[in-house]
Amino acid sequence: MKREAAPRRALRFNFIDALFLLIILAASALLVYILFFHNPENIDQKSYTDVEYKIELRMVREELKGKINIGDKVIDASKLYTIGEVTDVKYANAIYTGVNRQQGTLVYSEYPGFVNITVTIKAPADLSSGNYMINGVYKLSVGSYVSIRVPNFTGSGYCISIKEVTA
């Protein structure tokens, strides 16, 4: 029994082949554009500016006074983002606010053994989104609850002010 080879079919070029070839050509053209003609400096630059913001830490034990130093790098203790550098630290006696029920007035008195700390932090912020974004990742606004960590201290407080500074 003699076997004969099946007759050869001519190669056909159909719609799927044309689509596949078109995708390959488009991807190649895009790669050539990115490698040779694309200038990343033309991309919309974020509008960074330096900001100084203040965090008020209330009712901190007095023995922790002096643990925050000017020049310390500040890290957000919950998200672990670097959020600036300490430029100023101020201490004030902690004040307890009570109510005199007989007279219907507020009474203020010192709270012994505790201090309030106001930490001023400087950081670059992006304003292009309409919010202050520290280093492009950490959203900051007045009233935000911020947990800070410096080399010798960890604490939490509220942002009480933000201002833009020029060099």
Mean pLDDT per 10-residue section of the chain, whose length is 167 residues: 70 86 94 77 63 94 93 91 94 92 93 94 86 86 93 94 86
> What per-residue confidence (pLDDT) applies to 90?
96
Q: Please choose, from the candidates 35, 77, 82, 67, the residue with its C-alpha nearest in 3D space to the C-alpha of residue 153.
A: 67
Taken as a whole, the chain contains a residue count of 167
> What per-residue confidence (pLDDT) applies to 28?
95
> What per-residue confidence (pLDDT) applies to 42?
47
Q: Please choose, from the candidates 147, 116, 119, the residue with its C-alpha nearest in 3D space to the C-alpha of residue 55.
A: 119
With vertex at residue 27, the alpha carbon angle to CA 23 and CA 33, rounded to the nearest 5 degrees, is: 145
Q: Is 16 exposed, middle or buried (0-12, 13-18, 19+ CB in 10 A)?
A: exposed
Q: Measured in whole angstroms, how far is the alpha carbon of residue 131 from the centre of its chain?
A: 11
> What per-residue confidence (pLDDT) applies to 108?
92
Residue type, 49: T
Q: Residue 148 forms beta bridges with which residues?
A: 76, 155
